[in-house]
Amino acid sequence: MKRPDLDRATLLEARGVSRLYGPGKGCEAIDIRLHRGEVLGIVGESGSGKSTLLRLLAGMERPDAGQVVYHSAAAQGRDGAGHEGELDLYAIGEARRRALLRMEWGLVHQNPRDGLRLGVSAGANIGERLMALGERHYGQLRAAGQDWMGRVELDPRRIDDAPKTFSGGMQQRLQIARTLVTRPNLVFMDEPTGGLDVSVQARLLDMLRTLVRELGLSVILVTHDLAVARLLAHRLMVMRRGQVVETGLTDQILDDPQHAYTQLLVSSVLTP
């Protein structure tokens, strides 16, 4: 038997990224490497800096120091801002950065109301990102809408209903459909199961696992819920007071934590 090729290409990298609002508030000198097809979980308690880090990585907030580098297959030659497929997220213009987030990346907010247009139909919500990519054919937009409602276990007959008539769990699934319909290379998720009832959470987790596998998604997932991290993430990063205290495979972190804080965090979880 030949030695397997275990290396995976890097998709996103943070190099010494910092953004501090005060001592221990924000995040400080963070290095991250996300590989293709990998789900990286960022865990920690509230105020640990994980959401700040997500905003820095996702192009929504400029760091005080450091670089966020996206390794895009398509980056080279589009406008020359990258070299060898590397795109320095905050060295490119605002318009380009927004375009990247719209075309190649996806963002799932904790609160679906932040990611949806509540007043327009479910179908229009799903079609919006496709239209931004140039799809104009009404029949195809509608077909994609119905297909994706089915994938996220929403009744496709409700395609013309506004999301404000949906429950919280349904809205969250709609937000996921709206985000994934363009097959993004990279998806950021901020506590995707955060505001949901436990029974609704389970359904969403199962669905996310399947979508990650089927679409080969690369994901950066922020969560304070270690059970969610266990189910979804391949690797974990533990944050505390703006710093990364430990990284490793998900089961390494949860079953054999090394750092004192990780041990405390893991041992504090109630298991029913």
State the residues that interact with another protein by CB under 8 A.
1-8, 33, 35, 37-38, 202-203, 205-206, 209, 213, 231, 234-235, 247-249, 251-252, 255-256, 258-261, 263-264, 267
Query: In this structure, which amino acid lies at residue 222?
Result: V
Question: Residue 55 or 151: which CB sits closer to another protein?
Answer: 151
Greatest Cα pair distance in the chain: 58
Q: What is the closest distance, in whole angstroms, from the C-beta atom of residue 13 to another protein in the complex?
A: 13
Displacement of CA 20 from its chain's centroid (Å) = 22
Q: What is the closest distance, in whole angstroms, from the C-beta atom of residue 9 to another protein in the complex?
A: 11
Question: Residue 10 or 121: which CB sits closer to another protein?
Answer: 10
Q: What is the closest distance, in whole angstroms, from the C-beta atom of residue 154 to another protein in the complex?
A: 16
Question: Residue 123 or 257: which CB sits closer to another protein?
Answer: 257
Displacement of CA 171 from its chain's centroid (Å) = 17
Question: Residue 165 or 263: which CB sits closer to another protein?
Answer: 263
d(CA 96, CA 9): 23
Question: Residue 99 or 227: which CB sits closer to another protein?
Answer: 227
Displacement of CA 45 from its chain's centroid (Å) = 18
Question: Residue 4 or 80: which CB sits closer to another protein?
Answer: 4
Pairing of strands 186-190, 218-223: parallel
CB atoms within 10 A of CB 77: 8
Q: What is the DSSP letter of 234?
A: S
Question: Residue 128 or 153: which CB sits closer to another protein?
Answer: 153
> Is residue 225 helix, strand or coil?
coil
d(CA 30, CA 50): 11
Q: What is the closest distance, in whole angstroms, from the C-beta atom of residue 90 to another protein in the complex?
A: 25
Question: Residue 124 or 211: which CB sits closer to another protein?
Answer: 211
d(CA 123, CA 143): 9
Contacts of 15 (CB under 8 A, 6+ apart): 31, 66, 67, 68, 69
Q: What is the closest distance, in whole angstroms, from the C-beta atom of residue 150 to another protein in the complex?
A: 16
Q: What is the closest distance, in whole angstroms, from the C-beta atom of residue 79 to another protein in the complex?
A: 31
Output the CA angle 269-271-272, nearest 5 degrees.
145
Q: Tokens representing 78?
A: 């589009």
Q: What is the closest distance, in whole angstroms, from the C-beta atom of residue 189 to another protein in the complex?
A: 18
Q: What is the closest distance, in whole angstroms, from the C-beta atom of residue 101 to another protein in the complex?
A: 25
User: Which residue in 55, 190, 217, 227 sits closest to 112, CA to CA?
Assistant: 190
